Amino acid sequence: MPESPNSNDRSAKTALFDAFAQVAKALSSGRRAEIVDVLAQGERSVEELASEIAQSVANTSHHLQALARAGLVTTRRDGTRIIYRLASARVEELWSALRDVAAERVAGIGELAAAYLGDRAGLEAIGRRELAERLRRGDVVVLDVRPNPEYTAGHIAGARSVPIAELRRHLDALPTNAEVVAYCRGPYCVYADDAVRELRRRGYTARRLEDGFPEWRRAGLPVATGADGP
């Protein structure tokens, strides 16, 4: 029979697995999960993150400190501002995996998503590979409807920056004879859905990307950075 571990071995193993669990503990708050979701789009300041998750700057700073202690985020200084980013691409992958497992295994996730996203029955989605081919052919208009800082940090190559709050004033600049595809942060982001609904009400042929920019980037499809081009 295998030998029983001595007390020192047991203590060491306990400490090791407790350390592993610090990552799960850091993600045990919904607001911290929201922060990771936003930072998967690109780096942001504390003030910007506070606005995105509807929390005070103080509360947001507290959540960021917990994520930093677990090694999930890092910082840089920009003048007097502290800018946060995910520590690595693996953190983004961890968040995606956690979200997918929850969708598959946690009772009620589907109902909660439907309550937040609304009825998607009439919102046809387009796959990443099909969209990449359409962009290559140049027969589709792609709108990034996330906030502009996220577009600047990284976007689908060839996409136009049209934040959802500014969509209506950009409608006249869109060609009426081309299909429009909108995308945002991922499968649980409402911006693209709202954009497609508005575009269809105005007579445009429109679809949403099946997920969002982080999934596009992880698939190795063409991305670009910087402000909107001509």
Active site residues: 184
For residue 119, the one-letter residue type is D
End-to-end Cα distance, the chain: 72
User: Based on the number of CB atoms within 10 Å of its own CB, is 74 exposed (0-12), middle (13-18) or buried (19 or more)?
Assistant: middle
How many CA atoms lie less than 13 Å away from 67 in the CB half-sphere? Answer: 30
- Where helices occur in 57-209 by DSSP H, the ranges are 57-69, 89-105, 109-117, 128-137, 148-153, 167-170, 191-201
Cα separation, 84 vs 74, whole angstroms: 6
Cα separation, 158 vs 132, whole angstroms: 10
Instruction: State the Cα angle at 163 between 158 and 166, rounded to 5°.
Output: 120
> Which tokens sit at 58?
């103080």
